[in-house]
Amino acid sequence: MMRRALPSGMLVTSLLLAGCPKDRRPETPIVDEAPEPGEPDDSTRPVYERINEAADRIESGTPADLERAITLLQGVIEEDDTGTARFNLGLAYQARGDLELAAGQYQAVIAAQPDMGDAWLYLGKVQEQQGQLEAAAGSYSSGIRNEPEHMGLRIAQVALLRRQGRLDEAVEAAKAALKVNANSLPIYNNFALVYLDKGDTTLARFILQKALQSIEGAVGNAYLHTNLGWSYYLDGNKPAALRSLEKAVELDPQLVPALVYLSRVYMEDHNYGDVVPLLETAEAIDATNPDVQLNLGIAYRGVGELQKARAAYERALALDPSDPDPYFNLGILLSDFEKDYDGAIASFNQYLAAGGSERERALEYISDVEKEKERAERRKKAEADRQRREEERKRKERVLREAEAARGASDPGASDPGASDPGASDPGASDPESRGGETTEGSSSGGGVPGEETPEEGASEEGTPPEEEP
């Protein structure tokens, strides 16, 4: 894995020793023999054998294998005069995350062998990981002075200058590298990226097309097609962008930049169904890439997977807290889909506080969300009032029914005009006034219930209708 991840991997395999120039490799032949069963006595084993086993374990990368590799290499440092054991020990520490220890090993190699370019290269990479960019730039420059033809150092130098925004220096560094090796595809790629950073898509495209047309094997380089496609996309030429990016993914289905850029083109057409599998593939390859998480969140939102979308935005923020864009997209998700207006406003404000470039859009969203929040609150209040009135109406009807039932139970004749009753033949028996003004409970002249308020005359039972959305 590490050999593929770094441009000039120095790990040994069963047939190659890392970091050893051809004239300084051990004379003992390297053989590929299975170890005897049981734990061997390391002190009795040849140096090259222990170095090769350690290299295999570093390449495996498991914590147990890394610890075993470190133990093996520590035991042969003093016996190995090629610098190989110390260099690979630096790789093991770096893989384990012990950057200070790794840097110490690379510096020790450089002190003994200043012309070992790989030691300068990996020292620079450790320094970049530590955020020591100026120190890394110095390491790459020193390595180039000591080994001018080391293309890995020159590629790293151009990439770092781009990262630092020193674009004119990056241009000069790329030109110098091409004088050393005019067929270096990584230099062409980085050279083109410098011009993309400068906003000169025409010159970037010229460099990429020159490489594709003049260098053998360039047409099969997925990176060239990826960067060419992105240059077309930036110029608004989506058909050409699609052709180049789809070609890049065809050449290397696991090239994360190609997957991300192609997903961006698809998203412009709201083709979220095709975007999701692209970015899920990218995530499986590089789960720590914040751009992948951000775009995956947008794609999940597009297919209605709102919980997954929110989780992806939150992962993007965790991976790169300095990037404000996830806050903006989270704000859209919360306002437009989850109707969490307070959460949306908070997200947009966090976007602004983090220096988001789309300030006017964010302010416009905040204004719209605040208005929608007010409308939603009025609708909620109107609905609550309507439900309260409906419950009140039902309660009154229930009380009236109960009162009627109670009156029927206490005066059975009231519901049977033909029943025998002493007052049935007395026309005044049904008149309350004839009995001294007594009234039967529940039969007040207003038709209401004793102790209950009745609606004022002319009052609307339905109340004020909710405001229509504009």
- In the chain, domain spans: 1-21+41-126, 324-379
Instruction: Give residue-wise pLDDT tens across range 7-38.
Output: 333 333 322 333 333 333 333 333 344 445 55
Tell me what the pLDDT averaged over the chain comes to.
83
Among residues 122, 143, 150, 115, which one has the least CA distance to residue 23? Answer: 115
What pLDDT, on a 0 to 100 scale, did the predictor assign at position 426? 46
Q: How confident is the model at residue 44 (pLDDT cuts 50, 70, 90)?
A: confident
Q: Is the CA virtual torsion 68, 71, 76, 77 positive or negative? A: positive
Contact 205, 231 (CB under 8 A): yes
Token pair 């208005």 is found at 371
Domain 1-21+41-126 CATH (choose: 1.25.40.10, 1.20.140.10, 1.20.1290.10, 1.20.120.1200): 1.25.40.10
**Has residue 463 got a pLDDT over 60?**
no
What pLDDT, on a 0 to 100 scale, did the predictor assign at position 38? 53
Indicate the burial class of 33 (C-beta count within 10 angstroms; 0-12, 13-18, 19 or more): exposed
Lowest mean pLDDT among 116-130, 169-183, 210-224, 376-390: 376-390
Indicate the burial class of 325 (C-beta count within 10 angstroms; 0-12, 13-18, 19 or more): buried
CA 115/CA 36 separation, integer angstroms: 38
Neighbours of 14 (CB within 10 A): 13
What pLDDT, on a 0 to 100 scale, did the predictor assign at position 449? 35
pTM of the model: 0.68
What pLDDT, on a 0 to 100 scale, did the predictor assign at position 416? 52
Q: How confident is the model at residue 42 (pLDDT cuts 50, 70, 90)?
A: confident
Contact 9, 2 (CB under 8 A): yes
Q: How confident is the model at residue 176 (pLDDT cuts 50, 70, 90)?
A: very high
The residue ranking higher by pLDDT, 97 or 461, is 97
Lowest mean pLDDT among 373-382, 407-416, 452-461: 452-461
Angle at 285 between CA 280 and CA 289, to 5 degrees: 80
**Has residue 311 got a pLDDT over 70?**
yes
